A = this chain, B = another copy of it.
């Protein structure tokens, strides 16, 4: 019933899941850059090599993702589920992902949002991670017995596109205005050159962060969507609200 002391929880690594090599950076790269600068370790798990995309070979996509993750200070691994654009909701996937949760032992987990009107793989990764974050906690799952069970503290969703923003969860806005953060984020997005050379992803994400930032009274902010209510010891963390206009 007791929760871990804050200092320890806050140092727990950040674990971030994405369906494709560029989803994480497009959806929340600025947040990652900020957290790693603050000293938190971040690890990316990418669930395909982007092989169904219109542009870029899997080999290129992986190389870009590795370069991009490094630019925001994160490590990255690639796993195979069903392949790009072939992802299905399977218990075996959730269990496999729960194994990664047990291995990394994160405090906070990020995943693409569960809104279904977006790329078919995006919301499925979100749903699988939501399931896997529970499975990681259950002691009797036989495939996972070699790893200690682990309870994460919070699951947050990021939205790769505007329509992926859940309308039934109040967002939290993370201030990413510092020039070096914006620079790192932008560089990480541009590292996905196969994609950004043909579509205006960078401009989309920076415009979105600009709108959220102006709303929050800062230059740029990224909206994240908590899967569960926040638990707080006092009102202090609530002392800024997005109410500038």
Known contacts A163-B245, A245-B204: A85-B138 contact under CB 8 Å = yes
A167 and B167: CB pair below 8 A? yes
CB neighbours of A87 from chain B (8 A): 91
Q: Is the interface of A mostly helix, strand, loop or mixed?
A: loop
27 A-B Cβ contacts within 8 A? Answer: A9-B240, A10-B239, A12-B239, A31-B235, A34-B234, A53-B139, A82-B91, A85-B138, A85-B140, A87-B91, A88-B91, A107-B239, A116-B127, A152-B243, A153-B239, A155-B243, A163-B228, A163-B245, A170-B229, A171-B229, A172-B238, A200-B214, A203-B210, A204-B245, A215-B229, A228-B241, A232-B237
Q: Interface residue tally of chain A, by bracket?
A: 35 or more
Bound-state Cα–Cα, A40 to B50, Å: 37
Whose C-beta in chain B lies nearest to the C-beta of A221?
B231
Interface check A135, CB cutoff 8 A: yes
